[in-house]
Structure 1
Amino acid sequence: MSFPPFFCGLPFTGRQAGKKLKWLLANGEIRQLLADVYVDTETPDSPELRASAAELLRPADGIACGQFAAWLHGIDTTALGPKPPRAQWTREAADVVQVRGVPVISPIATGVELAMHLPRPFALSAVDALLRSGKADRWAIRAASAQYEGQRGIKQANEILRYADRRAESPGESWLRLRLIDAGFGTPDLQVRVNGPTREYRLDLGYPEPVDGVRLGLEYDSDRWHSGDRVQVRDEERRIGLKALGWHIIPVRRTDLWGSYPALELAVGSFLCQWPRLPRRW
């Protein structure tokens, strides 16, 4: 089946696709960008593509806000799956920028909204990602948050903005850091460098204060990069090397963060000789 020329490489609505929409989706010819906006599967994601998709839905005087604004700024806000974002618009915003011609609340305002309204772990990972992108500074976001005093979610935002750190390199690292803070262990160091005789190691998180001469490091092992047998053998060899340098490493998987049993808090508390603060908050 030939693909209509005006669809190729450009986003389009379900109405434009007409009766062909279900067939195209079922056969993997197109993918969904937004609610009722689609594009050819061969078209790579880009800021221009996202802006073009937004324009198809933008109401008169509409300004993109919330998670939708984060998406247009190139920031992932869930990291748990490819579910398309929901278009969110406002007509009242003091801090507005243009993203490929689309009016969007600024990265700073976006950071405040994410910190206020997303669930806590996603709020932290999204703000961390925003800071890592270099599009906003934590101190600027904290200063801007003063304008939202009294609004729903500002208490959470103030907490998230205290913890946010651009050095977190993945959502999993952000979630792990929040679990440790919530448990009362204090804020760990990020991207800890450990020098060995033949190589340098870098740990996702660590508590460098020794306990009986041994330091604690934690590493988030994502399912995507740490699932194969060969990779797991390499990870175990790495932990053995770090043990020889005086580091005890606790590997953490997604199930350790999102399961209901507080095994992570108990393991960290056992090493640090501290009772974790329980029950866990999420």
Structure 2
Amino acid sequence: MWDRAKAAWLATGRQAVITGVAASGLYGANWVDADTTIELISPRHARPQPGLVVRQESLASDEITTVAGLPVVVRARAAFDLARHLGRSEATARLDALMRNGVFSVEDVHVLAKRYPRVRGLRQVAGVLPLVDGGAASPRETRLRLLYIDAGLPRPATQVPVFDGWRVVRLLDLGWEGFRVGSEYDGDVHRTDRRAYVKDLRLRATVENLGWTVDHVIKEDRDAEIIERATRMLLSRGWKP
């Protein structure tokens, strides 16, 4: 992706600054494909090209840095732009990944929102920022967390430790520690890696013996099924809606 980002920057006469998903990828955030669209902020109009988006937007000098030899917006500005221009679910997943890779200040993003009170997408920025959690290890975990929140369940924590005495035996993807209820997204590794699958089964038994009940979600599950199972588990542990 670096080569494509550099080519896009050169095509603008070295006047533009990289932002959006490409910026998060240059910072090292996960889940950025090599062919991702390169988003640039440029002081002048640029001819549209496949795989390239150029926006003429205001950009202050303190919002620009250099990453791998290329001009890139600072993390807070990247988060600001991602939250404005992507849908709610994808924006949250992208900000989760950016936060997981290296913490950015949510307060700095709020400062940018005050700096640019008339830009498009501010309402979505205000809605997305409280949802960000750098503990999410994948976009599917982000989506699962949002599913629970939108269903009216208590907000789950991420990377929830299960203790056996002082020893952590498992980190659950999501969980409600006070109720000892957890949720795990079971990806393809359970189908392709037999050793990992067997190890996971043994750990599941250990977690259950320590008093936890854990729902294992797969991609074939319907949203309503996932919500129903989590609700039932929480109610059985004393949660009151």
1:264 maps to amino acid = I
Aligned to 2:51: none
Deviations 1:234-273 (A, max 9, x none): 32222221111111111123343xx5x4211111112223
Deviations 1:120-179 (Å, cap 9, x if unpaired)?
A: 222111111111222522332233333343433222221211111222222222222111
Q: Identity of counterpart residues, as a percentage?
A: 31
Q: Which 4+ stretches in 1 moved above 6 angstroms? A: none
Q: Name 1:187's counterpart in structure 2.
A: 155
3-state SS in 1 of match to 2:191: coil
Which residue of the partner structure matches residue 253 of structure 1? Answer: 218
- CA RMSD in angstroms, aligned pairs only: 2.7
Letter in 2 for 1:84: D
- Listed one character per residue, the Cα deviations across residues 30-70 of structure 1 (whole Å, up to 9, x for unaligned) are xxx4xxxxxxxxxxxxx6x5654444434452222222332
Counterpart residue identity of residue 190, structure 2? H
Q: Is 2:167 the partner of 1:216?
A: no
**Local SS of the residue matching 2:177:** strand
Q: Which has the larger radius of gyration?
A: 1
Q: Which amino acid aligns with 2:204?
A: R
Contact 1:168 1:174 in 2 (8 A): yes
Within a 5 Å distance, the mapping from 1:123-134 to structure 2 comes to 123-134=91-102
215, 237, 246: which one aligns with 2:202: 237
Instruction: Note if contact 2:174-2:182 (Cα within 8 Å) is conserved in structure 1.
Output: yes
User: 1:85–1:58: structure 2 CA closer, same or farther, 3 Å change rule?
Assistant: farther
Distance in 2 (alpha carbons) for counterparts of 1:148 and 1:262: 39
Alignment pair present for 1:73 and 2:27: yes
Q: Decide which of 219, 224, 235 is 1:262's aligned counterpart.
A: 224
Between 1 and 2, higher relative CO (CA 8 Å, sep ≥ 6) is seen in 2
Q: Are positions 1:203 and 2:172 aligned together? A: yes
- Choose which of 141, 153, 156 in structure 2 pairs with 1:173: 141
Residue 102 (structure 1) aligns with? 70
Give the TM-score of the pair, scaled to structure 2: 0.78
The answer as to whether partners of 2:9 and 2:17 remain within 8 angstroms in 1 is no
CA contact (8 A) 2:20 2:78 kept: yes
Match of 1:22 in 2: none
CA contact (8 A) 1:51 1:99 kept: no
Q: Which amino acid aligns with 2:120?
A: R
Aligned residue-pair number: 219
The equivalent of 1:121 in structure 2 is 89
C-alpha distance in 2, partners of 1:118/1:275?
34
Q: Distance in 1 between matches of 2:88 and 2:190?
A: 26
Task: Determine helix, strand or coil for the equivalent of 1:192.
Answer: strand
Out of 262, 272, 275, the position equivalent to 2:234 is 272
Are the equivalent residues in 2 in contact too, given 1:123–1:160 (CA < 8 A)?
yes
Q: Which runs of 5+ in 1 are unaligned?
A: 1-32, 34-46, 277-282
Q: Does the 8 A contact of 2:161 with 2:169 survive in 1?
A: yes
CA offset at residue 72 of structure 1? 3.0
Per-residue deviation at 1:187? 1.3
Whole-angstrom distance in 2 between the partners of 1:275 and 1:56 = 58
2:1 matches 1:88: no
Letter of the 2:17 counterpart:
I
Deviations 1:77-108 (A, max 9, x none): xx4x8461222222241122222332222211
Cα distance in 2, alignment partners of residues 222 and 58 from structure 1: 41
Aligned equivalents of 1:126, 1:255: Cα separation in 2: 23
1:131–1:138: 8 Å Cα contact kept in structure 2? no
Secondary structure, counterpart of 2:190 in structure 1: coil
Normalised by the length of structure 1, the TM-score is 0.68
- 2:197 maps to a residue whose letter is Q
